[in-house]
Structure 1
Amino acid sequence: MKIGENIKEVREKERKLNKDFVAKALGITTKAYSNIESNKSDITLTRLFEIADILECSPEYLLNYQDKQTFSNHFNNYEGNRGVNIMYQGCTSDHVKNLENALKDSKRKHQDLEASIRTKNN
Protein backbone atom coordinates (compact mmCIF):
# COMPACT_ATOMS: atom_id res chain seq x y z
CA MET A 1 0.00 0.00 0.00
CA LYS A 2 1.27 3.49 -0.80
CA ILE A 3 1.05 6.49 1.51
CA GLY A 4 -1.97 8.00 -0.27
CA GLU A 5 -3.91 4.78 0.17
CA ASN A 6 -2.93 4.67 3.84
CA ILE A 7 -4.14 8.24 4.34
CA LYS A 8 -7.44 7.41 2.66
CA GLU A 9 -7.93 4.30 4.81
CA VAL A 10 -7.30 6.20 8.06
CA ARG A 11 -9.49 9.12 6.96
CA GLU A 12 -12.42 6.91 5.96
CA LYS A 13 -12.27 3.96 8.35
CA GLU A 14 -10.86 5.44 11.54
CA ARG A 15 -11.68 9.14 11.47
CA LYS A 16 -14.88 9.04 9.36
CA LEU A 17 -13.92 12.32 7.65
CA ASN A 18 -14.70 13.34 4.10
CA LYS A 19 -12.18 14.62 1.55
CA ASP A 20 -13.65 18.12 1.55
CA PHE A 21 -13.03 18.54 5.27
CA VAL A 22 -9.37 17.49 5.04
CA ALA A 23 -8.76 19.55 1.88
CA LYS A 24 -10.25 22.64 3.52
CA ALA A 25 -8.15 22.09 6.67
CA LEU A 26 -5.04 21.86 4.47
CA GLY A 27 -6.04 24.94 2.46
CA ILE A 28 -6.06 23.09 -0.86
CA THR A 29 -8.74 22.03 -3.32
CA THR A 30 -10.54 18.73 -2.99
CA LYS A 31 -9.02 17.71 -6.33
CA ALA A 32 -5.49 18.41 -5.06
CA TYR A 33 -6.22 16.37 -1.94
CA SER A 34 -7.70 13.54 -4.06
CA ASN A 35 -4.43 13.49 -6.01
CA ILE A 36 -2.56 12.90 -2.74
CA GLU A 37 -4.82 9.99 -1.76
CA SER A 38 -4.61 8.44 -5.22
CA ASN A 39 -0.81 8.79 -5.23
CA LYS A 40 -0.87 11.05 -8.29
CA SER A 41 0.90 13.81 -6.33
CA ASP A 42 4.06 13.37 -4.32
CA ILE A 43 3.69 14.31 -0.68
CA THR A 44 6.18 16.44 1.23
CA LEU A 45 7.15 15.74 4.82
CA THR A 46 5.50 19.00 5.83
CA ARG A 47 2.25 17.94 4.17
CA LEU A 48 2.49 14.48 5.76
CA PHE A 49 2.78 16.09 9.21
CA GLU A 50 -0.19 18.39 8.44
CA ILE A 51 -2.36 15.47 7.35
CA ALA A 52 -1.31 13.40 10.37
CA ASP A 53 -2.28 16.32 12.63
CA ILE A 54 -5.71 16.58 10.99
CA LEU A 55 -6.23 12.81 11.26
CA GLU A 56 -5.00 12.89 14.87
CA CYS A 57 -2.23 10.34 14.42
CA SER A 58 1.51 10.30 13.88
CA PRO A 59 3.16 10.48 10.46
CA GLU A 60 4.72 7.07 11.24
CA TYR A 61 1.24 5.64 11.73
CA LEU A 62 0.26 6.82 8.25
CA LEU A 63 3.45 5.46 6.73
CA ASN A 64 3.11 2.05 8.37
CA TYR A 65 -0.68 1.76 8.43
CA GLN A 66 -2.12 -1.71 8.18
CA ASP A 67 -5.81 -2.42 8.06
CA LYS A 68 -6.86 -3.58 11.53
CA GLN A 69 -9.37 -6.14 10.31
CA THR A 70 -7.19 -9.21 10.81
CA PHE A 71 -6.77 -10.86 14.21
CA SER A 72 -4.39 -13.50 15.51
CA ASN A 73 -4.90 -15.62 18.60
CA HIS A 74 -3.11 -18.88 19.31
CA PHE A 75 -4.77 -21.40 21.60
CA ASN A 76 -2.81 -24.37 22.82
CA ASN A 77 -4.67 -27.09 24.68
CA TYR A 78 -2.22 -28.76 27.02
CA GLU A 79 -4.81 -31.32 28.19
CA GLY A 80 -3.84 -33.75 25.46
CA ASN A 81 -5.57 -32.18 22.45
CA ARG A 82 -2.90 -31.29 19.92
CA GLY A 83 -5.14 -28.98 17.92
CA VAL A 84 -4.27 -25.29 17.59
CA ASN A 85 -6.87 -22.68 16.71
CA ILE A 86 -5.26 -19.71 14.97
CA MET A 87 -6.97 -16.43 14.12
CA TYR A 88 -4.90 -13.53 12.79
CA GLN A 89 -4.74 -10.22 14.70
CA GLY A 90 -1.94 -8.68 12.70
CA CYS A 91 0.41 -8.57 15.69
CA THR A 92 3.51 -10.73 15.52
CA SER A 93 5.29 -12.14 18.54
CA ASP A 94 8.25 -9.87 17.74
CA HIS A 95 5.93 -6.86 17.84
CA VAL A 96 4.58 -7.95 21.22
CA LYS A 97 8.12 -8.52 22.52
CA ASN A 98 9.18 -5.04 21.33
CA LEU A 99 6.16 -3.50 23.06
CA GLU A 100 6.96 -5.39 26.27
CA ASN A 101 10.57 -4.17 26.15
CA ALA A 102 9.44 -0.59 25.51
CA LEU A 103 7.08 -0.84 28.48
CA LYS A 104 9.87 -2.17 30.72
CA ASP A 105 12.19 0.64 29.57
CA SER A 106 9.48 3.19 30.24
CA LYS A 107 8.89 1.82 33.75
CA ARG A 108 12.65 1.93 34.47
CA LYS A 109 12.88 5.53 33.27
CA HIS A 110 9.87 6.43 35.39
CA GLN A 111 11.45 4.82 38.46
CA ASP A 112 14.76 6.59 37.78
CA LEU A 113 12.95 9.90 37.44
CA GLU A 114 11.06 9.35 40.69
CA ALA A 115 14.31 8.48 42.47
CA SER A 116 15.96 11.58 41.08
CA ILE A 117 13.08 13.77 42.25
CA ARG A 118 13.19 12.21 45.74
CA THR A 119 16.96 12.82 45.92
CA LYS A 120 16.55 16.48 44.92
CA ASN A 121 13.74 16.99 47.43
CA ASN A 122 15.76 15.55 50.34
Structure 2
Amino acid sequence: MPLSLFNRVKTDIIQHDSYFQQGQDAAGRPSFSPEQKITTSLRMLANGCSADSIDETFDMGETTVLHCMRKFCNVIICIYGPEYLRAPNVEDLCHLLDHSKRRGFPGMIGSIDCMHWQWKNCSMA
Protein backbone atom coordinates (compact mmCIF):
# COMPACT_ATOMS: atom_id res chain seq x y z
CA MET A 1 0.00 0.00 0.00
CA PRO A 2 1.43 3.39 -0.91
CA LEU A 3 2.35 5.50 2.10
CA SER A 4 0.14 8.36 0.88
CA LEU A 5 -2.91 6.06 0.83
CA PHE A 6 -2.07 4.66 4.26
CA ASN A 7 -1.74 8.17 5.69
CA ARG A 8 -5.05 9.27 4.15
CA VAL A 9 -6.85 6.24 5.56
CA LYS A 10 -5.15 6.73 8.94
CA THR A 11 -6.23 10.38 9.09
CA ASP A 12 -9.82 9.48 8.19
CA ILE A 13 -9.91 6.72 10.80
CA ILE A 14 -8.46 8.90 13.59
CA GLN A 15 -10.97 11.66 12.84
CA HIS A 16 -13.85 9.19 12.87
CA ASP A 17 -13.01 7.15 15.98
CA SER A 18 -11.00 8.33 18.99
CA TYR A 19 -10.04 4.71 19.77
CA PHE A 20 -7.32 4.99 17.13
CA GLN A 21 -5.76 8.08 18.69
CA GLN A 22 -2.76 7.36 20.83
CA GLY A 23 -3.51 7.72 24.50
CA GLN A 24 -2.12 6.34 27.73
CA ASP A 25 -2.63 2.98 29.36
CA ALA A 26 -3.56 2.48 33.03
CA ALA A 27 0.08 2.85 34.08
CA GLY A 28 0.43 6.21 32.31
CA ARG A 29 2.57 4.84 29.48
CA PRO A 30 1.77 5.61 25.85
CA SER A 31 -0.71 3.12 24.41
CA PHE A 32 -0.40 1.58 20.98
CA SER A 33 -0.02 4.12 18.19
CA PRO A 34 -2.60 4.56 15.43
CA GLU A 35 -0.05 3.11 13.00
CA GLN A 36 0.29 -0.06 15.10
CA LYS A 37 -3.48 -0.51 15.43
CA ILE A 38 -4.13 0.04 11.74
CA THR A 39 -1.15 -2.00 10.55
CA THR A 40 -2.14 -5.02 12.63
CA SER A 41 -5.65 -4.89 11.17
CA LEU A 42 -4.40 -4.50 7.61
CA ARG A 43 -1.91 -7.32 8.05
CA MET A 44 -4.62 -9.67 9.31
CA LEU A 45 -6.90 -8.76 6.39
CA ALA A 46 -4.20 -8.89 3.71
CA ASN A 47 -2.41 -12.04 4.81
CA GLY A 48 -5.18 -13.91 6.57
CA CYS A 49 -2.90 -14.40 9.56
CA SER A 50 -4.11 -15.08 13.07
CA ALA A 51 -4.24 -12.62 15.94
CA ASP A 52 -1.73 -14.84 17.73
CA SER A 53 0.89 -14.34 15.00
CA ILE A 54 0.36 -10.57 15.18
CA ASP A 55 0.89 -10.81 18.93
CA GLU A 56 4.39 -12.14 18.35
CA THR A 57 5.31 -9.48 15.77
CA PHE A 58 3.84 -6.35 17.35
CA ASP A 59 3.94 -7.41 21.01
CA MET A 60 0.21 -6.71 21.19
CA GLY A 61 -2.13 -9.05 23.06
CA GLU A 62 -4.46 -11.28 21.07
CA THR A 63 -7.61 -9.68 22.50
CA THR A 64 -6.28 -6.20 21.69
CA VAL A 65 -5.49 -7.28 18.12
CA LEU A 66 -9.00 -8.69 17.68
CA HIS A 67 -10.54 -5.55 19.18
CA CYS A 68 -8.49 -3.37 16.79
CA MET A 69 -9.63 -5.50 13.87
CA ARG A 70 -13.32 -5.20 14.78
CA LYS A 71 -13.05 -1.45 15.31
CA PHE A 72 -11.06 -1.02 12.09
CA CYS A 73 -13.59 -2.93 9.98
CA ASN A 74 -16.54 -1.03 11.47
CA VAL A 75 -14.85 2.34 10.91
CA ILE A 76 -13.90 1.48 7.32
CA ILE A 77 -17.50 0.48 6.58
CA CYS A 78 -18.81 3.72 8.12
CA ILE A 79 -16.33 5.96 6.32
CA TYR A 80 -15.99 4.33 2.91
CA GLY A 81 -19.09 2.15 2.70
CA PRO A 82 -21.41 4.67 1.06
CA GLU A 83 -18.92 5.23 -1.79
CA TYR A 84 -17.20 1.87 -2.27
CA LEU A 85 -19.59 -0.73 -0.84
CA ARG A 86 -22.75 0.48 -2.54
CA ALA A 87 -24.58 -1.21 -5.38
CA PRO A 88 -23.38 0.05 -8.75
CA ASN A 89 -25.51 2.63 -10.53
CA VAL A 90 -26.12 2.78 -14.30
CA GLU A 91 -23.01 4.89 -14.89
CA ASP A 92 -20.86 2.43 -12.90
CA LEU A 93 -22.26 -0.54 -14.82
CA CYS A 94 -21.57 1.12 -18.17
CA HIS A 95 -17.99 1.83 -17.06
CA LEU A 96 -17.49 -1.77 -15.86
CA LEU A 97 -18.94 -3.26 -19.03
CA ASP A 98 -16.81 -1.00 -21.23
CA HIS A 99 -13.67 -1.81 -19.23
CA SER A 100 -14.38 -5.55 -19.43
CA LYS A 101 -15.09 -5.35 -23.16
CA ARG A 102 -11.72 -3.65 -23.80
CA ARG A 103 -10.01 -6.49 -21.92
CA GLY A 104 -11.75 -9.16 -24.00
CA PHE A 105 -14.59 -10.05 -21.64
CA PRO A 106 -17.71 -8.47 -23.17
CA GLY A 107 -20.79 -8.58 -20.94
CA MET A 108 -18.81 -9.40 -17.79
CA ILE A 109 -19.48 -7.58 -14.53
CA GLY A 110 -17.35 -8.71 -11.61
CA SER A 111 -14.65 -11.32 -11.50
CA ILE A 112 -14.15 -14.70 -13.09
CA ASP A 113 -13.92 -17.85 -11.02
CA CYS A 114 -12.01 -19.67 -13.83
CA MET A 115 -14.00 -22.85 -13.20
CA HIS A 116 -14.80 -23.30 -16.91
CA TRP A 117 -11.32 -22.59 -18.24
CA GLN A 118 -8.68 -25.20 -18.81
CA TRP A 119 -5.45 -24.19 -17.11
CA LYS A 120 -2.56 -26.24 -18.48
CA ASN A 121 -0.22 -25.36 -15.58
CA CYS A 122 -2.76 -26.01 -12.82
CA SER A 123 -1.22 -28.16 -10.08
CA MET A 124 -4.42 -30.22 -9.85
CA ALA A 125 -4.46 -31.07 -13.60
Shared topology, TM-score over 0.5? no
Pick the structure with more strand per residue. Answer: 1
The structure having more radius of gyration, on CA atoms, is 1
TM-score calculated relative to the size of structure 1: 0.29
Q: Point out which structure has higher relative CO (alpha carbons under 8 A, 6+ apart).
A: 1
TM-score calculated relative to the size of structure 2: 0.29
